[in-house]
Chain A
Amino acid sequence: MEAFDTLVLILASTMRLTVPLLLAALAGLYSERAGVFDIGLEGKMLAGAFAAGATAAVTGSAWAGLGMAVVVAVALSLVHGFASITHRGNQIVSGVAINFVAAGLTALLGQAWFQQGGRTPQVSGDARFSPIVLPFTEEIAAVPILGPVYRSLLSGQNLLTWIAFLAVPLSFYVLYRTRFGLRLRAVGENPAAVDTAGISVTWLRYRAVIICGVLTGLAGTYLAIAQSANFVKDMSAGKGYIALAALIFAKWKPVPVMFACLLFGFLDAVAIRLQGTPVPFIGTVPVQIFQALPYVLTVILLAGFIGTAVPPKAGGVPYTKER
């Protein structure tokens, strides 16, 4: 029974840790499927977290925080779009620049405005997205297996968690069942085909990076005022890169992206759980090993087990009409 309780705890922790990965990976999915590589997920998430934390602290409204996070992340997305779509710049350089700007600027502004060493003030109540307790949680809590699972995994999740997981089937529908999705997939493979079909490549790609911005804004909001209660310097801690790994791992497909993120979230949860506790037969394992696992796993699995992940063919290549 104790093992079961531990498992449920780890799974609950997995859910919480998966949400920012999932939102960021889906963000990357839209952008990269449209042919715009985005290594700046990390920076946009961080900037979104800062905007959410700061706005929530000042206004006391979680919704205002969310709105500001989305505005800031979309603004950075548009910078990326302006550099890489309009001006046909190098998408990696632009993304890295956004990461640096976000890391530096959030710490600087945080210190200048709140004088708490780059943090934003702690918020509570309406300034956070609190857990949504589903009905009958207490009534069935005593039921074995089902009770704890319902209480820990389904009930008590906040709004953003629901949004993140509902975004998966929604993204599947958008990508494979709508006109926009067909065009989005096409523009990432062969923008010239889209152009000659009389569709604007530029506008299509801008819409993709805007969606990317919205989703990274949500991811940042989750970090600052749903999972935590304030913004902390560098709180995205590489999640944007793990999200990219998940995206590659899942071959740029929405449902596999969810499973990849859950796997990485699970590894993270296990790492936290095992911190300082000895593993049977092995002894205490340095926590860094678990933190490195997502990357190691991606490399190993891509190298031999799931075949090559073929990125969208036009990914990273700015579109120029041929002369």
Chain B
Amino acid sequence: MTQTAAAPPAIELVGIDKSFGQVHANRDINLAVAAGSIHGIIGENGAGKSTLMSILYGFYQADRGDILIGGQKTVIRDSAAAIAAGIGMVHQHFMLVENFTVLENVMLGAEGGATLARGTAAAREELKRIEREYGLDVDPDAVIEELPVGRQQRVEILKALFRGAEILILDEPTGVLTPAEADHLFRILKVLKEQGKTVILITHKLREIMAITDTVSVMRRGELVATRRTAETTVEELAELMVGRRVLLRVDKGPAAPREVRLGVENLTVRDGRGVTMVDDVSFAVRAGEIVGIAGVAGNGQSELLEAIAGIRRPASGTITLGGKSVGGLDPAALRRRGLAHVPEDRHHMGLVLPFEENENAILGYHGAPEYCRGPFLSLDAMRRDAKAKIEKYDIRPPNCRLRTANFSGGNQQKIVLAREIERDPDVLIIGQPTRGVDIGAIEFIHRRIVEMRDAGKAILLVSVELDEIRALADRILVMFAGRVVGEERPDCGEQTLGMMMAGVSGGQGASA
């Protein structure tokens, strides 16, 4: 015991400071992580977590401050130096060559000689050993692009361990994982810890911090505002530290008062470009004054369902009705005129044109509306006046309607899309992933807006892969699996029940995920 107490921390940061021009990304950061522990770093987007880790991995140099690895002052000039110091990193976007095999990816940069022949055999042996030791379960000869994301992530972990990493940094590792894959990852992290490795977990999900870490540090606006032992803190305290004020984690809403059916979907079947059936004979209805949530692991047909309802994808069969009238075959613009608003799942791809100015995106899709036009021309004055009003109402920051949309944070971009769709006062609102990549503070705001819409008597269809979000917002939950609606539950049903249904284990049909 005295030995461990005397051991220097695996990693220690002393007075790290970093600015990018005007932006002070990291301010005087002091942090010590004990060897053989799992340390969480939590904070909103733009709080400086990623910058700090990039400094540790040699992507940037700190302007001031020291890094101590195992008590030794270490200068990390580039990634090679970080690897040599025993630091491995699992990036949010995997650093894998997709058409290479697992083995080739692991060897890249650690080939063991100018030709590959000898190194390959040795690497294969070493890979097998690491795989067994940590229960990673990856085939060395599999090609990356054919692996599911969860396995690709394990290849990233393999890569780090193959290079002899003692300290493993994971940047938002669960963002792309299914709940089951995330659980598997946490088991692996626990094994790593038992083997004496140090793990640093960067995330904005409070639940993960509580579930797996030993200690946790909170970052806010470039500063490290607190470090706690996980056992001695609460979700509420961490959330407050992150945002800097009290946050309502539960959504406050009264019971729903559903009225007539506004959106009807009957026997809808949708196929994708390859002819694969993605939505299979789905029927449901959304009434005025209620929120219907669609839960499910990503890729089970929710996206195609949304696109079909929004008029982007033509269904193979079935009918869609809006206010009792069939709207099959109408394009998105026509649907919009009939009171359907759509907040797409992927705001970068479908919701916004990132190089446009904020005020341009704020009317996109409604740019033909008379209030924004003067004859055949756009009225820039009207657009900007309108954009300013929305910026104020939705607290979009920075409050500058001439700024390129790409320069807004994820949460503010989402607010731009929401403001655009909600302020047209639609009868039916369909929303995909309302808070993907959005900060806690903004999540609270967006959730409140959605509930207000419901209380104003709108019909709302909500698709999210975040089970917590569905449970918090929806009045009824439909679960999709393999293109079918496999069940309907009330939001107060157990998470276990929903989880089983999402995995395809329900109602006696024993399909496995």
Q: A197-B110, A323-B20 are in contact. Are A190 and B104 (CB under 8 A)?
A: no
Kindly list chain A residues whose C-beta atoms are within 8 Å of the C-beta of B98.
Answer: 189-190, 313
Is A167 interfacial (CB 8 A cutoff)? no
Q: A182-B116, A189-B98, A190-B98 are in contact. Are A196 and B89 (CB under 8 A)?
A: yes
Kindly list chain B residues whose C-beta atoms are within 8 Å of the C-beta of A68.
Answer: none
Please measure, in the bound complex, the distance between the C-alpha atom of A79 and the C-alpha atom of B108, giving whole angstroms. Answer: 29
Please measure, in the bound complex, the distance between the C-alpha atom of A182 and the C-alpha atom of B159, giving whole angstroms. Answer: 16
A173 nearest in chain B by CB position: B115
Is B109 interfacial (CB 8 A cutoff)? yes
Kindly list chain B residues whose C-beta atoms are within 8 Å of the C-beta of A323.
Answer: 20
What is the CB-to-nearest-CB distance from A35 to chain B, in angstroms, rounded to a whole number?
12
What is the CB-to-nearest-CB distance from B444 to chain A, in angstroms, rounded to a whole number?
27
Is B498 interfacial (CB 8 A cutoff)? no
B57 nearest in chain A by CB position: A196
What is the CB-to-nearest-CB distance from A230 to chain B, in angstroms, rounded to a whole number?
41
Report which of B91, B96, B99, B111 forms a contact with A182, defined as CB distance below 8 A.
B111
> Contact between B114 and A179 (Cβ–Cβ < 8 Å)?
yes
Kindly list chain A residues whose C-beta atoms are within 8 Å of the C-beta of B114.
Answer: 178-180
Is B107 interfacial (CB 8 A cutoff)? yes
> Contact between B116 and A198 (Cβ–Cβ < 8 Å)?
no
Kindly list chain B residues whose C-beta atoms are within 8 Å of the C-beta of A194.
Answer: 108-109
B20 nearest in chain A by CB position: A323
A187 nearest in chain B by CB position: B97
Q: A193-B108, A198-B80 are in contact. Are A186 and B117 (CB under 8 A)?
A: no
> Contact between A198 and B109 (Cβ–Cβ < 8 Å)?
yes
Kindly list chain A residues whose C-beta atoms are within 8 Å of the C-beta of B83.
Answer: 197-198
Is B79 interfacial (CB 8 A cutoff)? yes
> Contact between B79 and A179 (Cβ–Cβ < 8 Å)?
no
**A-B pairs under 8 A by CB, number:** 74
Kindly list chain A residues whose C-beta atoms are within 8 Å of the C-beta of B97.
Answer: 185-186, 189-190, 193
Kindly list chain A residues whose C-beta atoms are within 8 Å of the C-beta of B116.
Answer: 177-179, 181-182
Number of chain B residues whose Cβ lies closer than 8 Å to a Cβ of chain A: 33
> Contact between A186 and B79 (Cβ–Cβ < 8 Å)?
no
Please measure, in the bound complex, the distance between the C-alpha atom of A130 and the C-alpha atom of B100, giving whole angstroms. Answer: 43
B78 nearest in chain A by CB position: A198
> Contact between B111 and A179 (Cβ–Cβ < 8 Å)?
yes
Please measure, in the bound complex, the distance between the C-alpha atom of A197 and the C-alpha atom of B81, giving whole angstroms. Answer: 10
B85-123 contact mask (Cβ, 8 Å, vs A): 1 or 0: 000010101011111100011011111011111010000
What is the CB-to-nearest-CB distance from A197 to chain B, in angstroms, rounded to a whole number?
3
> Contact between A195 and B79 (Cβ–Cβ < 8 Å)?
yes
Is A199 interfacial (CB 8 A cutoff)? yes
Is B134 interfacial (CB 8 A cutoff)? no
> Contact between A182 and B104 (Cβ–Cβ < 8 Å)?
yes
Q: A177-B116, A179-B114 are in contact. Are A193 and B105 (CB under 8 A)?
A: yes
Segment 157-183 of A: residues with Cβ below 8 Å from B: 177-183
B62-86 contact mask (Cβ, 8 Å, vs A): 1 or 0: 0000000000000000111111100
Is B59 interfacial (CB 8 A cutoff)? yes
Kindly list chain A residues whose C-beta atoms are within 8 Å of the C-beta of B96.
Answer: 190, 193
Kindly list chain B residues whose C-beta atoms are within 8 Å of the C-beta of A195.
Answer: 79, 95
> Contact between B115 and A193 (Cβ–Cβ < 8 Å)?
no
Kindly list chain B residues whose C-beta atoms are within 8 Å of the C-beta of A177.
Answer: 115-117
Kindly list chain B residues whose C-beta atoms are within 8 Å of the C-beta of A313.
Answer: 98-99
Is A192 interfacial (CB 8 A cutoff)? yes
Q: A189-B99, A193-B108, A197-B109 are in contact. Are A321 and B59 (CB under 8 A)?
A: yes
B99 nearest in chain A by CB position: A189
> Contact between A190 and B95 (Cβ–Cβ < 8 Å)?
yes
Please measure, in the bound complex, the distance between the C-alpha atom of A192 and the C-alpha atom of B104, giving whole angstroms. Answer: 15
Q: A178-B114, A179-B111 are in contact. Are A196 and B79 (CB under 8 A)?
A: yes
> Contact between A199 and B95 (Cβ–Cβ < 8 Å)?
no
> Contact between A178 and B110 (Cβ–Cβ < 8 Å)?
no
What is the CB-to-nearest-CB distance from A294 to chain B, in angstroms, rounded to a whole number?
27
What is the CB-to-nearest-CB distance from B446 to chain A, in angstroms, rounded to a whole number?
26
Kindly list chain B residues whose C-beta atoms are within 8 Å of the C-beta of A180.
Answer: 114
Kindly list chain A residues whose C-beta atoms are within 8 Å of the C-beta of B80.
Answer: 198-199
Kindly list chain B residues whose C-beta atoms are within 8 Å of the C-beta of A190.
Answer: 95-98
> Contact between B108 and A192 (Cβ–Cβ < 8 Å)?
no
What is the CB-to-nearest-CB distance from A203 to chain B, in angstroms, rounded to a whole number?
12
A181 nearest in chain B by CB position: B116
Please measure, in the bound complex, the distance between the C-alpha atom of A69 and the C-alpha atom of B284, giving whole angstroms. Answer: 73
A312 nearest in chain B by CB position: B99
Please measure, in the bound complex, the distance between the C-alpha atom of A182 and the C-alpha atom of B99, giving whole angstroms. Answer: 12
> Contact between B115 and A196 (Cβ–Cβ < 8 Å)?
no
A192 nearest in chain B by CB position: B95
What is the CB-to-nearest-CB distance from B162 to chain A, in angstroms, rounded to a whole number?
11
What is the CB-to-nearest-CB distance from A97 to chain B, in angstroms, rounded to a whole number?
26
What is the CB-to-nearest-CB distance from A216 to chain B, in angstroms, rounded to a whole number?
25
A305-323 contact mask (Cβ, 8 Å, vs B): 1 or 0: 0000000010000000101
Kindly list chain A residues whose C-beta atoms are within 8 Å of the C-beta of B117.
Answer: 177
What is the CB-to-nearest-CB distance from A258 to chain B, in angstroms, rounded to a whole number?
22
Q: A190-B95, A193-B96, A323-B20 are in contact. Are A199 and B109 (CB under 8 A)?
A: yes
Please measure, in the bound complex, the distance between the C-alpha atom of A179 and the C-alpha atom of B104, giving whole angstroms. Answer: 10
Kindly list chain A residues whose C-beta atoms are within 8 Å of the C-beta of B57.
Answer: 196
A192-236 contact mask (Cβ, 8 Å, vs B): 1 or 0: 111111110000000000000000000000000000000000000
What is the CB-to-nearest-CB distance from B113 to chain A, in angstroms, rounded to a whole number?
7
What is the CB-to-nearest-CB distance from B116 to chain A, in angstroms, rounded to a whole number?
6
Q: A186-B97, A186-B108, A197-B108 are in contact. Are A178 and B115 (CB under 8 A)?
A: yes
B268-291 contact mask (Cβ, 8 Å, vs A): 1 or 0: 000000000000000000000000
Please measure, in the bound complex, the distance between the C-alpha atom of A108 and the C-alpha atom of B232, giving whole angstroms. Answer: 80
Kindly list chain B residues whose C-beta atoms are within 8 Å of the C-beta of A321.
Answer: 59
A188 nearest in chain B by CB position: B97
Please measure, in the bound complex, the distance between the C-alpha atom of A190 and the C-alpha atom of B89, giving whole angstroms. Answer: 16
Kindly list chain A residues whose C-beta atoms are within 8 Å of the C-beta of B89.
Answer: 196
Please measure, in the bound complex, the distance between the C-alpha atom of A194 and the C-alpha atom of B96, giving whole angstroms. Answer: 9
A120-134 contact mask (Cβ, 8 Å, vs B): 1 or 0: 000000000000000
Please measure, in the bound complex, the distance between the C-alpha atom of A189 and the C-alpha atom of B94, giving whole angstroms. Answer: 13
What is the CB-to-nearest-CB distance from B142 to chain A, in angstroms, rounded to a whole number?
16
Please measure, in the bound complex, the distance between the C-alpha atom of A183 and the C-alpha atom of B119, giving whole angstroms. Answer: 14
Q: Which 6 A-B pairs have the closest CB atoms?
A: A197-B109, A198-B80, A179-B111, A193-B95, A198-B79, A196-B95
* Apart from A180-B114, A182-B104, A197-B79: 14 A-B pairs, beta carbons within 8 A: A178-B114, A178-B116, A179-B115, A179-B116, A182-B108, A186-B97, A190-B96, A190-B97, A190-B98, A192-B95, A193-B95, A198-B80, A198-B109, A313-B98
Write 5 A-B pairs (CB below 8 A) sorted by A numbering: A189-B97, A189-B100, A190-B97, A196-B57, A196-B89
